[in-house]
C-alpha cells in the first residue's frame, strides 16, 4: 500500500492513491466539487477555475481538477474563501455570457445555468460585456450551430476535436479579451474540415454548440395531411433516448419509442436496422468481390483493405484528410441513406403512394447524418432520399412537446416492409458492431457454417479499446470460395477519428495488412454519437453498449441474411446484392475534398 | 529595519575583467554538487520575476532522472519598463552562454535554447556569432553542448515559463497547470532549467568569484545585486546594477526629479509605492525585512506630480486585458471588468463603492488565476486604487 496517501477533506480523513486529483478524492468522500472545463473524456485543462478549493496553509486556491493530492494535505471545499471566489468566477462567466436562457436551445441542460442556479447568482454587479463584443453565430452548417455569445472558453470542444477526433477544426485564436474558439481563418464550420460528427456539441457545457434542429419542419410535415411522413430510427437511438426522458442510461426502450413515434403522428414507423441488415448483404458481398479481385484476378485497380462507409463523419474525414485513398471505402451508402432511397421507391411502390407525397424523416444518434442527407449525391430515388434528420435529443424534445407520458406507453412493433431486423442490425449502433454483423454473414456465405464464436458473439471486436483487431481463419470454404481456403481474414475496428487516423496511417505505411476495417467517427460508435443525450462519459457509453448487446442477444434472428424482409426485398425488388438496381439505389461515390 | 543607507552601485555583470573560456573550463572540472552548493550558498534568486532560488532549481533538475534535459534562457523580456536583458545579451553574451553551459553540465543537458523576444530580432546575428564561437570552444574542450535561439513572436504571456515551452513546442502559448513543474516536466515534457538572462549572468559571477562575494551584498533573503531599468520622470533613465535591499527613498533621492509622487516597482505586474511609503519600503525579495516590494524584473518607473494615476492604471489594465492569454476565467474576464470598472467609476456610471467590489475581484484573481499574469494584476491594481482612491473617483 505504498502508493496510498492520507489527506483530509473538510475534516474527514481519506486514503487515496498517490496522484489522485483533489476532484476525484473529494468524490470518494461524497463531496461534489462543481466543474465546467473538466470532462471525463478529455485531458485536464484547469482553465475555468470554478473547481478551486482551499489547501489549508496556502494563500492561493487550487483547481481541484488539476491538482494532485499530496500526503497530509488538508483540503476545504466549502470555506468562505472558496465560496466567495467561486461566486465571483461564476459572476464573471455570466458577465461575458449571453445569458438569454429562455431563448436558448440548451435551456434546462446547461452546466453554467445549473451552477448559476446552485450558487444563486441573482444580482448583476459586474458590467455586462456582451454588448461590447462582436459575437458571431455560425448557422451555415446543416448539422451544427456555433454561437460565440454562449461560449465560456472552457475549450472542451477544442480538446474534443483534437483529442477524440484528431480533426482540429476548432481552435483557440487571439488573446486577452479577444480570445475565442474559432476555425481556420474564422471560416464557417461548413467551409472547414469539420466532419459534423457533433462530438463538440456533446461536450459543450453551454449552448455555444448545438445541433441545427429541424423539429418545426417535421411538425409541419406531420400536420400536412397531403403528406405521408415515414420515420426510421437508428439502432443507437433506442438505447439512448431514455436518458432524455428520465430513465437510467442503458434502458432499452424500443417498443415504447415506436409507440411514441406513432403518437407523434408519423404515418409509418420503420427501422434503420432493416437497412443495416441490407448493408451487410451489400457490403459483405462487396468485400468478397474485392477479395476475389485482389487475390485471384490480381486486379490492379482494386485494393485492400475495404473500409466501411456507414459513418458520415468518418466519410467526410477521409474525404478531407486522405482524398487519395477514397478507393478503400465500400461504395455502400449508410443504412440511413439506403433507407431513404428505398422509401421513395420500393416502399412507395408497395404502398402505392406517390413518392412526391412522402416525407422521409430519420431519427439518428448523429449530427453528421444531417450533412449526409444534404449531400447532392443522395437523390437516387429521384427525390431527396432523406428529408429531415433529427437527433435523439430532438426526438425527445418532440415527445415532451407532445405531452406523451413515456412510462405509460405500450410497447409496439415497427411497421412492416422495412421494419424487421436481426440482432446483427441492432449492433450497428456500437463500435465493432458492423464488423461483427458482417463476419456473422460473410463467414457463413463462404463456409456454409456459423462463424466460430460462442453464441455468435465475436467478443474480440467488442469493447472500448480505440483500435481492436481480430483475425478469422477461413477453413474448408464452399467450392465457390476455394480461393479463401486457409486465409486469415485480418479485420480491425477503430472508433473516434483520432483512432481512425492511426489506422489509416498504418494502412498507408504498410505496417498493417488488413482485409476489412470498420471505422466509426464517434467514441463508442453511434451509441456515443454527437446526437445522443448529453452528458456523455465512458460509463454512460458502456451502459448503452450493454443495452445494445442485450438487445441483440434477445433477438430471435441474429444474422442479417436471415431477415425475412431482406429476403423479400431481394426477391421482389433488388434481385441480388450488387445488382444494377442495388448499385443505383444503395451505392454511392465520394468526393475528394482535401484540406 | 536594516537597509543599506545609501545606494551601492555594483559592477559584476558588465565588467570585462574575466575570461569566459577560463571560467567555463574551471567549472567543468568541478563536481556538479560543488557548483550546486556554491549557488545555494550564494542565495541567488531568479531575476525573471518569481524569485525562486536558483541553486535549488538546478538541483531539482539535476536530480530528475531522465536521459534528455534542457537548459533554457528566458530572454522574452516582456515586462513593461524592463530593458536590461537586451543590454546583457548585447554587451556580455558570453557570460550568459557560459552560465548556460555550466548549468547544462550540472543537470546533464546537451541542448540549450535562448528564447529571444520577437522585437529583439536585431540581436539575433550578434548572438548567433557568439554562439558559434562558443560552440567551437566547447568542441575544442570536448564538451557536448549546443545552443539555439528560438524567436518569440511578441506575446507577453510567452515569457511565463510553461507558456514559453508550449510556444517552443509549436503550440499556442498558454500556461500549463503546475504541478508538474519545469524541473521534472518542462520543454517537451523533459526536466528543464529555465532562467532569466540576468539570473544566468549572476550565476556566472558566482561560478567565477565564488558565492561569498555575491552573498556579502544585499540583506537577508535578498542577496547580491540586481539590474534596474530606470525610466519615467527621471533625469537619468537607464540600466543600473545596484545592491539589493536599498530603501526606496534612497533610490528616489538618487534618481528622482525632485517631485516624485510614486514609483512603480517591478513593472506592470509590480506594485505602486506612493511618496509617503518611500521610507518604509525596501527593494528586495519577499521576506520579513523587505515587505512586499518584489523587484520582479527590476523595472523602476518614476512618476512625478504631473502624472494622472488613473491614466497609469488604465494603461496597465489595457496592457493586461490584451496580454492575458485568455484561457482562465478570473484573468480573461477579470481584466476586462477591472478596466471597464474604473472607467465606469470615473465617468460616474458606477458609484465609488464599486471600487471595493473591484478590489475584491482583484484579490479573487490573485487567489484563483492560473498563472502569474492573472495573479499579479492585483499588485498594481490594489496598490494604485488604495493609495490614490480620490484620483480614481474625481
Ligand atoms: C506573465 C509572465 C511573464 C513573464 N515574463 C518573463 C520574461 O519576459 N522573462 C523572464 O525571464 N521571466 C518571465 N517570467 C517569469 C518566468 O515564468 C520564470 O519564472 C522565469 O523565467 C524563471 O527564471 P528565474 O528563476 O531566473 O527568474 C514571466 C512570468 C509571467 C507570469
Ligand atoms: S492568468 Fe491570464 S495569462 Fe495566466 S493562464 Fe489565466 S488567462 Fe492565461
Grid cell listed for B317: 489594465
**Burial of A521 per CB tally in 10 Å (0-12, 13-18, 19+):** buried
| Contact: A89, B329; criterion CB under 8 Å | yes
| Chain A residues with CB-CB distance to B366 below 8 A | 60
- Give the domains, in start order, of chain B with CATH numbers: 20-215 (3.40.50.11540), 218-304 (3.10.20.600), 309-393 (1.20.1440.230)
Residue B6: half-sphere exposure toward Cβ, Cα within 13 Å = 2
Interhelix angle for B32-42 vs B197-209, to 10°?
A: 110
Q: Where are the domains of chain A?
A: 4-78, 93-211, 287-330+422-535+549-586
From CA A106, how far away is CA A174, in angstroms rounded?
A: 27
What residue's CA is closest to ligand 1, atom 31? Answer: B372
* Residue A60 to residue B327, Cβ atoms within 8 A: no
* pLDDT given for residue A92 in this prediction: 98
Asked if the model's pLDDT at residue B7 lies above 80, the reply is yes
- What is the pLDDT, as a whole number, of residue A122? 86
Largest CA distance in chain B: 70
Name the residue of B76, B78, B157, B173 to mutate for ligand 2: max ligand atoms within 8 A of Cβ. B157
Nearest by CB: B332 against A45, A67, A179: A179
CA distances from A23 to A111, A383, B62 (A): 17, 53, 32
d(CA A433, CA A560) in angstroms, rounded, equals: 12
Give me the pLDDT at residue B278, please.
94
Residue A58, judged by CB atoms within 10 A of its CB (0-12, 13-18, 19+), counts as: exposed
Angle CA B394–B383–B337, to nearest 5: 70
- Contact residues, B window 130-169, toward A, CB-based 8 Å cutoff: 155, 157
Q: Which CATH architecture has domain A93-211?
A: 2-Layer Sandwich (3.30)
Cβ neighbours, 10 Å, residue A43: 8
The strand pair at B146-151 and B111-116 is best described as parallel
Distance from CA of A149 to the nearest CA of B (A): 14
Residues of chain B with C-beta less than 8 angstroms from the C-beta of A60: 366-368, 375
Please say whether the beta carbons of B107 and B61 come within 8 A: yes
Q: Which of B159, B224, B326 to mutate to test the pocket of ligand 1 (most atoms within 8 A of CB)?
A: B159
Locate the DSSP E strands across A392-541: 467-473, 488-495, 516-520
| Pair A341, A377: CB distance under 8 Å | no
Give Cβ neighbours of residue A120 (< 8 Å, ≥ 6 apart).
Answer: none
Residue B256 to residue B341: CA distance in whole angstroms? 32
Give residue B220's pLDDT.
87
How many angstroms away from the CA of B61 is the closest CA of chain A?
20
Rounded Cα gap, residues A487 and A389, in angstroms: 41
Adjacent-strand bridge partners of B238? B230
In this complex, the residue of A50, A66, A175 whose CB is nearest that of residue B325 is A175
**Angle subtended at Cα B114 by Cα B110 and Cα B115, rounded to the nearest 5 degrees:** 130
Query: Which residue in chain A has the smallest CA separation from B367?
Result: A60
Cβ–Cβ < 8 Å for A285, A561: no
pLDDT given at position B287: 55
Instruction: Find the radius of gyration of the CA atoms of chain A.
Output: 25
Average the pLDDT over B90-112 and give the result. Answer: 98
Model confidence pLDDT, tens digit, residues B162-221: 999 999 999 999 999 999 999 999 999 999 999 999 999 999 999 999 999 999 999 888
CA-CA distances (angstroms) from residue A518 to A121, A366, A573?
Answer: 48, 17, 28
- pLDDT for position B3: 47
User: Strand B225-232 and strand B299-304: pairing?
Assistant: parallel
Q: List the Cα angle B137/B138/B144 in 5-degree steps.
A: 160
- Nearest chain A residue to B369 by CA distance is A49
Grid coordinates 455570457 are at which residue?
A: A97
Among all bound ligands, the one having the nearest atom to the CA of B196 is: 1
pLDDT at B293 > cutoff 80: no
Distance from the Cα of B285 to chain A's closest Cα (Å) equals 17
First to last CA, chain B: 36
Q: What is the Cα–Cα distance from B148 to B112, expressed in whole angstroms?
A: 6
User: What are the residues whose beta carbons fall under 8 Å from the beta carbon of A479, sequence distance 6 or more?
Assistant: none
pLDDT of A49: 98
Write phi, then psi, for B274 (nearest 5 degrees). Answer: -85, 160
Q: What is the pTM of this model?
A: 0.96
Instruction: Name the residue at shortest CA distance from atom 8 of ligand 2.
Output: B325
DSSP H helical ranges for A429-508: 433-447, 497-508
**Angstrom distance (rounded) from CA B72 to CA B79:** 18
B194 in contact with A, Cβ within 8 Å:
no
CATH topology of domain A4-78: Ubiquitin-like (UB roll) (3.10.20)
- Which regions of A183-318 does DSSP assign to beta strands (E)? 209-211, 228-233, 268-271, 306-307
Q: Give A75's strand partners.
A: A9, A55
CA distance A38 to A35: 6
Query: Which residue from B155, B179, B321 is facing A177, i.e. has the nearest CB?
Result: B321
* Peptide bond just before B179 cis, omega within 30 deg: yes
Q: How would residue B235 be classed by pLDDT, with cut points 50, 70 and 90?
A: very high
- DSSP E strand stretches across A435-487: 467-473
Round to the nearest angstrom and report the end-to-end CA distance of chain A.
Answer: 51
Other CB atoms within 10 A of residue B136 CB: 9
Q: What's the CA-to-centroid distance between A472 and ligand 1, angstroms?
A: 58
Residues 6+ apart with CB under 8 A from B125: none
What percent of chain B is modeled with pLDDT above 90?
90
> Among B74, B77, B45, B76, which residue's Cα sits nearest to residue B58?
B45
Closest atom of ligand 1 to B54 CA is 25
Which residues of A are annotated as catalytic? Answer: 283, 286, 310, 330, 369, 372, 377, 526
Q: Which residue of A47, A85, A177 is in closest CB contact with B364?
A: A85
CA A177 to ligand 1 centroid distance, Å: 22
Chain A interface, Cβ < 8 Å to B: 44-50, 52, 59-61, 63, 66-68, 81, 84-85, 88-89, 92-93, 95-96, 125-127, 129, 132, 152-153, 155, 171-172, 174-179
Q: A49 vs B375: CB contact, 8 Å cut-off?
A: no
- CB contacts of B157 in chain A (<8 Å) are 175
Chain A hits for B167, Cβ within 8 Å:
none
Query: What integer pLDDT is reported at residue B5 of this predicted model?
Result: 53
**Which one of B160, B173, B327, B369 would you mutate to disrupt binding with A, by most A Cβ within 10 Å of its Cβ?**
B327
Tens place of pLDDT per residue across chain A (595 aa): 468 999 999 999 999 999 999 999 999 999 999 999 999 999 999 999 999 999 999 999 999 999 999 999 999 999 999 999 999 999 999 999 999 999 999 999 999 999 999 999 888 899 999 999 989 999 999 999 999 999 999 999 999 999 999 999 999 999 999 999 999 999 999 999 999 999 999 999 999 999 999 999 999 999 999 999 999 999 999 999 999 999 999 999 999 999 999 999 999 999 999 999 999 999 999 999 999 999 999 999 999 999 999 999 999 999 999 999 999 999 999 999 999 999 999 999 999 999 999 999 999 999 999 999 999 999 999 999 999 999 999 999 999 999 999 999 999 999 999 999 999 999 999 999 999 999 999 999 999 999 999 999 999 999 999 999 999 999 999 999 999 999 999 999 999 999 999 999 999 999 999 999 999 999 999 999 999 999 999 999 999 999 999 999 999 999 999 999 999 999 999 999 999 999 999 999 999 998 8
pLDDT of residue B1: 42
Query: B325 in contact with A at a CB cutoff of 8 Å?
Result: yes
- Using the beta-carbon criterion (under 8 Å), do A172 and B174 form an inter-chain contact? yes
Give me the helices (H) in A448-537, please: 497-508
CATH superfamily placement of domain A287-330+422-535+549-586: Fe-only Hydrogenase (Larger Subunit); Chain L, domain 3 (3.40.950.10)
* Nearest CA-CA distance, residue B71 and chain A, Å: 26
Look at residues A57, A51, A49 and name the one whose alpha carbon lies nearest to residue A22: A51
Residue A337 cell numbers, joined: 441513406
Contact residues, chain B, for A96 at CB < 8 Å: 332-333, 336
Residues whose beta carbon lies within 6 Å of some atom of ligand 1: B 46-50, 52, 74, 76-79, 156-157, 159-161, 194-196, 199, 371-373
Q: In the numeric block, which cell numbers belong to residue B107?
A: 543537470
Q: Say if B324 is an interface residue toward chain A (CB within 8 Å).
A: yes
Does the distance separating the beta carbons of A47 and B327 come in below 8 Å?
yes
| Rounded Cα distance, A356 and A224, in Å | 13
Q: What is the mean pLDDT of chain B?
A: 94
As a whole number of angstroms, the longest Cα–Cα distance in chain A is 81
Q: How many angstroms separate the Cα of B72 from the Cα of each of A272, B174, B280?
A: 59, 18, 37
The secondary structure of A135-197 as a DSSP string is --EE--SSSEEEEGGG-----HHHHIIIIIT----SEEES-GGG-EEE-GGG--GGGSS----
CB contact under 8 A, A172 and B326: yes
Say if CB A173 and CB A187 are below 8 A apart. no
For chains A and B, CB pairs below 8 A equal 117
* Cβ < 6 A, ligand 2 pocket: B 157, 175, 324-328, 331-332, 369-371, 373-374
Relative to the CA of B45, which ligand 1 atom is closest?
25
**pLDDT recorded at residue A2:** 62
* Mean pLDDT computed over B85-98: 97
Query: Which of B78, B368, B370, B376 to substitute to test the interface with A, most A CBs within 10 Å?
Result: B368
Amino acid at each position: 500500500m505504498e502508493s496510498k496517501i492520507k489527506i483530509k477533506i473538510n475534516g474527514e480523513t481519506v486514503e487515496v492513491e498517490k496522484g489522485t486529483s483533489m476532484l476525484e478524492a473529494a468524490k470518494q468522500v461524497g463531496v461534489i466539487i462543481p466543474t465546467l472545463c473538466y470532462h471525463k473524456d478529455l485531458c485536464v485543462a484547469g482553465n475555468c477555475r470554478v473547481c478551486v478549493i482551499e489547501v489549508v496553509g496556502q494563500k492561493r486556491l487550487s483547481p481541484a481538477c488539476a491538482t494532485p493530492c499530496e500526503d497530509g494535505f488538508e483540503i476545504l471545499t466549502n470555506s468562505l474563501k472558496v465560496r466567495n471566489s467561486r461566486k465571483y468566477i461564476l459572476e464573471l462567466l455570466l458577465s461575458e455570457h449571453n445569458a438569454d436562457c429562455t431563448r436558448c436551445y440548451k435551456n434546462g441542460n446547461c452546466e453554467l445555468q445549473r451552477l448559476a442556479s446552485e450558487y444563486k447568482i441573482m444580482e448583476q454587479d459586474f458590467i455586462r460585456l456582451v454588448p461590447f463584443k462582436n459575437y458571431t453565430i455560425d448557422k451555415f452548417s446543416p448539422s451544427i450551430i456555433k454561437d460565440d455569445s454562449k461560449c465560456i472558453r472552457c475549450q472542451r470542444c477544442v480538446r474534443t476535436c483534437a483529442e477524440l477526433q484528431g480533426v482540429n477544426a476548432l481552435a483557440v485564436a487571439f488573446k486577452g479579451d479577444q480570445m475565442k474558439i474559432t476555425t481556420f481563418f474564422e471560416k464557417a464550420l461548413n467551409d472547414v474540415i469539420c466532419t459534423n460528427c457533433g462530438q463538440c456539441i456533446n461536450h459543450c457545457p453551454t449552448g455555444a454548440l448545438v445541433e441545427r434542429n429541424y423539429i418545426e419542419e417535421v411538425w409541419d410535415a406531420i400536420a400536412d395531411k397531403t403528406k405521408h411522413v415515414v420515420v426510421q430510427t437508428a439502432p443507437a437511438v433506442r438505447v439512448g433516448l431514455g436518458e432524455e426522458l428520465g430513465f437510467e442510461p442503458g434502458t432499452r426502450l424500443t417498443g415504447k419509442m415506436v409507440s411514441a413515434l406513432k403518437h407523434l403522428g408519423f404515418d409509418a414507423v420503420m427501422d434503420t436496422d432493416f437497412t443495416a441488415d441490407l448493408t451487410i448483404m451489400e457490403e459483405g458481398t462487396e468485400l468478397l468481390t474485392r477479395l476475389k479481385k485482389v487475390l485471384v484476378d490480381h486486379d490492379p485497380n482494386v485494393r485492400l483493405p475495404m473500409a466501411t462507409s456507414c459513418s458520415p463523419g468518418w466519410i467526410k474525414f477521409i474525404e478531407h484528410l486522405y482524398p487519395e485513398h477514397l478507393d478503400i471505402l465500400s461504395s455502400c451508402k449508410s443504412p440511413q441513406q439506403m433507407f431513404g432511397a428505398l422509401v421513395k421507391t420500393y416502399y412507395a411502390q408497395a404502398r402505392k403512394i406517390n413518392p412526391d407525397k412522402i416525407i422521409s424523416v430519420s431519427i439518428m444518434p448523429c449530427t453528421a447524418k444531417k450533412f449526409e442527407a444534404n449531400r447532392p449525391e443522395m437523390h437516387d430515388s429521384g427525390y431527396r432520399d432523406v428529408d429531415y434528420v433529427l437527433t435523439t435529443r430532438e426526438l425527445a424534445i418532440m415527445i415532451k412537446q407532445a405531452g406523451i407520458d413515456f412510462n405509460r406507453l405500450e410497447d409496439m412493433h415497427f411497421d412492416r416492409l422495412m421494419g424487421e431486423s436481426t440482432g446483427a442490425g441492432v449492433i450497428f449502433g456500437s463500435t465493432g458492431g458492423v464488423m461483427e454483423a458482417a463476419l456473422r454473414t460473410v463467414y457463413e456465405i463462404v463456409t456454409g457454417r456459423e462463424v466460430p464464436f460462442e453464441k455468435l458473439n465475436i467478443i474480440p471486436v467488442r469493447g472500448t479499446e480505440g483500435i481492436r483487431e481480430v483475425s478469422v481463419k477461413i477453413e474448408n470454404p464452399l467450392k465457390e470460395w476455394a480461393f479463401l481456403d486457409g486465409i486469415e481474414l485480418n479485420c480491425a475496428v477503430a472508433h473516434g477519428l483520432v483512432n481512425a487516423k492511426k489506422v489509416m496511417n498504418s494502412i498507408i505505411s504498410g505496417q498493417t495488412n488488413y482485409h476489412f476495417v470498420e471505422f466509426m467517427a464517434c467514441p463508442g460508435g453511434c451509441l456515443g454519437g454527437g446526437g445522443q443525450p448529453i452528458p456523455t462519459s465512458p460509463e454512460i457509453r458502456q451502459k448503452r453498449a450493454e443495452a445494445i448487446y442485450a438487445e441483440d442477444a434477445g433477438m430471435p434472428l441474429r444474422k442479417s441474411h436471415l431477415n425475412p424482409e431482406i429476403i423479400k426485398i431481394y426477391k421482389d425488388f433488388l434481385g441480388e446484392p450488387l445488382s444494377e438496381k442495388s448499385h443505383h439505389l444503395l451505392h454511392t461515390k465520394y468526393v475528394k475534398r482535401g484540406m | 529595519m536594516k537597509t543599506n543607507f545609501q545606494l551601492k552601485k555594483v559592477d559584476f555583470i558588465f565588467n570585462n575583467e574575466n575570461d569566459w573560456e577560463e571560467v567555463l573550463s574551471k567549472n567543468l572540472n568541478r563536481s556538479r554538487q560543488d557548483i550546486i552548493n556554491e549557488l545555494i550558498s550564494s542565495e541567488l534568486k531568479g531575476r525573471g520575476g518569481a524569485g525562486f532560488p536558483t541553486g535549488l532549481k538546478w538541483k531539482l533538475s539535476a536530480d530528475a532522472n531522465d536521459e534528455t534535459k534542457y537548459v533554457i534562457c528566458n530572454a522574452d523580456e516582456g515586462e513593461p519598463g524592463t530593458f536590461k536583458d537586451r543590454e546583457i545579451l548585447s554587451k556580455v553574451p558570453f557570460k550568459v552562454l557560459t552560465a548556460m553551459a555550466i548549468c547544462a553540465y550540472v543537470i546533464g543537458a546537451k541542448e540549450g535554447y535562448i528564447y529571444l523576444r520577437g522585437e529583439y530580432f536585431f540581436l539575433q546575428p550578434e548572438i548567433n556569432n557568439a554562439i558559434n564561437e562558443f560552440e567551437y570552444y566547447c568542441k575544442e574542450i570536448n564538451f557536448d553542448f549546443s545552443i539555439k535561439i528560438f524567436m518569440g513572436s511578441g506575446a507577453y504571456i510567452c515569457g511565463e515559463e510553461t507558456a514559453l515551452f508550449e510556444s517552443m513546442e509549436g503550440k499556442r502559448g498558454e500556461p500549463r497547470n503546475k504541478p508538474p513543474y519545469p524541473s521534472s516536466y518542462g520543454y517537451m515534457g523533459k526536466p528543464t532549467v529555465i532562467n532569466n538572462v540576468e539570473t544566468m549572468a549572476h550565476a556566472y559571477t558566482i561560478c567565477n568569484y565564488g558565492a561569498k562575494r555575491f552573498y556579502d551584498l544585499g540583506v537577508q533573503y535578498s542577496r547580491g545585486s540586481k539590474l534596474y531599468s530606470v525610466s519615467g520622470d527621471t533625469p537619468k533613465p537607464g540600466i543600473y546594477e545596484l545592491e539589493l535591499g536599498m530603501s526606496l527613498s534612497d533610490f528616489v533621492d538618487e534618481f528622482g526629479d525632485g517631485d516624485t509622487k510614486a514609483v512603480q516597482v517591478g513593472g506592470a505586474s509590480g506594485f505602486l509605492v506612493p511618496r509617503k511609503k518611500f521610507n518604509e519600503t525596501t527593494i528586495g525579495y519577499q521576506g520579513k525585512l523587505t515587505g512586499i516590494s518584489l523587484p520582479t524584473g527590476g523595472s523602476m518607473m518614476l512618476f512625478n506630480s504631473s502624472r494622472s494615476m488613473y491614466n497609469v492604471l488604465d494603461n496597465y489594465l489595457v496592457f493586461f486585458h490584451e496580454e492575458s492569454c485568455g484561457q482562465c476565467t478570473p484573468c480573461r474576464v477579470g481584466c476586462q471588468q477591472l478596466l471597464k470598472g474604473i472607467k465606469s467609476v470615473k465617468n460616474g456610471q458606477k458609484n465609488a463603492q464599486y471600487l471595493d467590489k473591484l478590489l475584491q475581484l482583484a484579490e479573487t484573481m490573485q487567489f484563483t488565476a492560473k498563472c502569474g499574469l492573472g495573479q499579479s494584476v492585483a499588485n498594481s491594481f490594489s496598490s494604485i486604487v488604495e493609495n490614490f482612491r480620490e484620483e480614481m473617483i474625481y
